[in-house]
Amino acid sequence: MEKTSEWLRSFNSNQVRDLNSIASLKKPTEKTTQTISITGGKGGVGKTSVSLKMAKELAAQGNKVLLIDCDYNLSNTAIKLGLPLSNTFYDLVSAEKSFQECLYQEGSFHLLSACNGSIDLFDASFRLEEIIIDIMTAHEKEYDYILLDCPAGLSRESLVLNAYCDHRILIVTPDRSSITDSYSLIKVLNKKFGVNQNHLLVNMVNTKPQYVKVIQTLSETVENFLGCRTKILGGIKKLDTQANNFDQYFLARGKNSHHENFLKVVHKLTDELSANGTEKGSQAFHPKRRIEQEVH
């Protein structure tokens, strides 16, 4: 099996490579772990909150789940969970601690959080994407799902991690800049890495017409100009709550409409992924079809 760094270095050239051939270098045919990046073109769209809640709900369904915070020196996952900040990611990178020692474990939900303003990590010379992918490939047999909370934007690290994963969930809001930046991300992933399919989750939705407009605008543009498929996971209503209470409410499990509807998003994703790669159960958007997805 080729070492991760060997094929990652190939992206230094201008040659566009097909994602399927890239993935085949590392992923054995018997692999059952699903790798999913939660990403977006713009910051502040709710990626980390969605990553945490999705990882926890997948774990609650009986799966063993690893969430990796890929914003290596500006970690928010630990903060949102109320955990003390630490430099465990640097300890792992520098081989001072083992992988298991660096994990936060809550039942079958495991979190590898990043650092926050670590000078040692800032001064270190390494490729983040190589480290993350080596971690994934070293431990993928231990998990049913590995989720990446990817930094927003078009950095090389984020692009490579998004391209390497089996699936990508783009978090977009009704904000025009979020839609535009998401299209830019889809375009670069398609042109440079051969990615032609993504999932879409619309966050901070006020009304269903607003939700419909977002998925029409982005999905039609992506299909018409890039020939890419967009699979719609649904929409999440904007929460009317104070900022300091948001994470506590959003991440809470219980009998409330917001949580129940988020579960519909998770079930929609897992139903599709369990369809053995066929089109059965997928909810791909097509501009000529009637839009039936509900805002969650």
pLDDT band at 9 (very low <50, low <70, confident <90, very high): very low
pLDDT given at position 120: 62
pLDDT given at position 192: 94
If one compares 23 and 233, the residue with the highest pLDDT of the two is 233
Is the pLDDT assigned to residue 283 strictly greater than 70? Answer: no
Q: Look at strands 104-106 and 109-112 and give their pairing.
A: antiparallel
Alpha-helical (H) ranges within 196-256 are 208-226, 243-251
pLDDT given at position 174: 95
Name beta bridge partners: 235: 202, 295
Residues present in the chain in total: 296
Tell me which of 92-101, 196-205, 221-230 is least confident.
Answer: 92-101
Dist CA 220 CA 214 (whole Å): 10
Question: DSSP letter at 235?
Answer: E
Q: Look at strands 167-172 and 145-149 and give their pairing.
A: unpaired
Question: DSSP letter at 215?
Answer: H
Dist CA 160 CA 138 (whole Å): 18
Is the pLDDT assigned to residue 142 strictly greater than 90? Answer: yes
Q: Look at strands 34-39 and 167-172 and give their pairing.
A: parallel
Provide mean pLDDT across the span 180-207. 95
Residues 6 or more apart whose CB falls under 8 angstroms from that of 95 comprise none
Is the pLDDT assigned to residue 25 strictly greater than 90? Answer: no
- Of 103, 79, 104, 78, the C-alpha closest to 92 is 103
Q: What pTM does this model have?
A: 0.83
- pLDDT (tens digit per residue) in 163-186: 999 999 999 999 999 999 999 999
If one compares 259 and 119, the residue with the highest pLDDT of the two is 259
Provide mean pLDDT across the span 8-27. 42
CATH T-level topology, domain 36-273: Rossmann fold (3.40.50)
Tell me which of 148-157, 204-213, 216-225, 274-283 is least confident.
Answer: 274-283
pLDDT given at position 30: 56
Q: Could you give the C-alpha distances from 265 to 13, 25, 187, 235, in angstroms and in order?
A: 38, 31, 25, 8
Tell me which of 8-22, 23-37, 279-293 is least confident.
Answer: 279-293
pLDDT band at 42 (very low <50, low <70, confident <90, very high): confident
Which helix (H) or strand (E) segment is 234 a member of? strand 229-237
- Select the highest-mean-pLDDT range: 77-91, 243-257, 258-272: 258-272
Q: Read off the tokens for 117.
A: 């303003």
- pLDDT (tens digit per residue) in 63-74: 999 999 988 766
Q: Could you give the C-alpha distances from 228 to 201, 263, 275, in angstroms and in order?
A: 16, 27, 20
pLDDT given at position 91: 83
Tell me which of 92-96, 189-193, 229-233 is least confident.
Answer: 92-96
Calculate what percentage of the chain has a pLDDT beyond 90: 53
